[in-house]
Structure 1
């Protein structure tokens, strides 16, 4: 589905990504783990074209490095930023409908599916997005991206700052997304959630991947966990 090789990215003169390699297969949930500041979020942003990437990015057998972000979205990659970026003055339903692409036919996700899975959003369909709790805004942002029917969705820190109950709901949503044939590339700080939902995990350190394997393989690798994950 997605292949990234020797990916480099810069913010000004700062060399953030220093040769990132990663793969995401069809129907696969892949998580990028690591401490803050190692380049996890920048990896997702570079795949989306901002900052400009240097290296090879192939999505569904099509090179996309150098494409504009909107063209990458139209190619079938959805992106949920860490800051959520909902429109606070628009209603919940209006925010969802903004996720539809021009001329799009019915996809794997719909407004009705959102209401079914998240009755609390249905109950607040006419409320402004800015009136939602942080967890509700996170669900809204993910579902808005799904309305565009991506084949791959990249999600940056979906559980940050959320209450434990809402963290569980986000975990359930990620598994529901994968069941519908949508691949997921996840940046996640909570090791427990990432290990539970992921098929494979990467550990990132200093702008490159230092581990690639299954959750069980990571749990068995105490050296990697101590050096790159544990405080």
Structure 2
């Protein structure tokens, strides 16, 4: 599905990503783990071409590295950015409509589906997004991305700043997306949670991929436990 080859990202003189290579197969959950500043967010931003990059990013065999971001979204990639970034002055329903801006003919069907996945949003359909809790906003951000019916959903730090109960609910939803035929690329500060739902994982350190393995194997890796799983 997605094949990233020799990807490099620079911010001025800073070499943020250094010839990284990875792939994602359909119906997988793949996670990128690493410390802050390792290059995880830069990887997601490069895939949707919101930062300049060098290298190849093939999506279903087509190099999308130089395609405008809105056309990448139309091809079936959605990014839920860190910090959620919902439209705070719009209602939940209006946020969902923004997510379906190129898929408007399916709006009502998808809207009802999102309310099945996130019942808490249905109860607040007319509420302004800016008045919701952080967990509800994260649910809305994911629902808004799903309104475009993406083939690949990329999530950047979805648990950041949320209560444990809400995190559990969100990760149940992410895990179940596989059953809906959606592939997930997950960047998550909580490596234990991420590895718990992922099929495979890549470890990013200083802009380079230093390790790749099945998620279960990394959960049992002594070095990974020491660095990312609290010993």
TM-score, scaled to structure 1: 0.94
Deviations 1:192-211 (A, max 9, x none): 21122100011110101111
- Counterpart in the other structure of 1:215: 215
- Counterpart in the other structure of 1:198: 198
What is the CA–CA distance in structure 1 between the aligned matches of 2:51 and 2:85, rounded to whole Å? 18
What is the CA–CA distance in structure 2 between the aligned matches of 1:98 and 1:158, rounded to whole Å? 20
- Counterpart in the other structure of 2:41: 41
- Counterpart in the other structure of 1:94: 94
C-alpha change, 1:104 and 1:23, in structure 2 (3 Å) is farther
Matched, 1:66 2:66: yes
What is the CA–CA distance in structure 2 between the aligned matches of 1:26 and 1:96, rounded to whole Å? 25
Deviations 1:36-84 (A, max 9, x none): 1110011000111121110010001111011111111111100110021
What is the CA–CA distance in structure 2 between the aligned matches of 1:142 and 1:103, rounded to whole Å? 16
Runs of at least 5 residues in structure 2 that lack an aligned partner in the other structure: none
> Comparing 219-228 with 85-94, which one deviates more in the overlay?
219-228
- Counterpart in the other structure of 2:133: 133
Contact 1:86 1:137 in 2 (8 A): yes
Deviation (angstroms), 1:130: 0.1
Matched, 1:167 2:156: no
- Counterpart in the other structure of 1:121: 121
What is the CA–CA distance in structure 2 between the aligned matches of 1:102 and 1:119, rounded to whole Å? 24
- Counterpart in the other structure of 1:153: 153
What is the CA–CA distance in structure 2 between the aligned matches of 1:144 and 1:74, rounded to whole Å? 14
Q: What's the C-alpha RMSD, in Å, of the aligned pairs?
A: 1.7
Deviation (angstroms), 1:133: 0.3
Deviant stretches of 4+, over 6 Å: none
What is the CA–CA distance in structure 2 between the aligned matches of 1:124 and 1:104, rounded to whole Å? 21
Matched, 1:17 2:17: yes
Matched, 1:27 2:24: no
Instruction: Give the length in aligned residue pairs.
Output: 230
Contact 1:203 1:228 in 2 (8 A): no
Deviation (angstroms), 1:96: 0.7
C-alpha change, 1:199 and 1:83, in structure 2 (3 Å) is same
C-alpha change, 1:122 and 1:202, in structure 2 (3 Å) is same
What is the CA–CA distance in structure 2 between the aligned matches of 1:131 and 1:87, rounded to whole Å? 11
Give the 3-state SS of the residue equivalent to 1:3 in structure 2.
strand
Contact 1:82 1:156 in 2 (8 A): yes
Deviation (angstroms), 1:221: 2.2
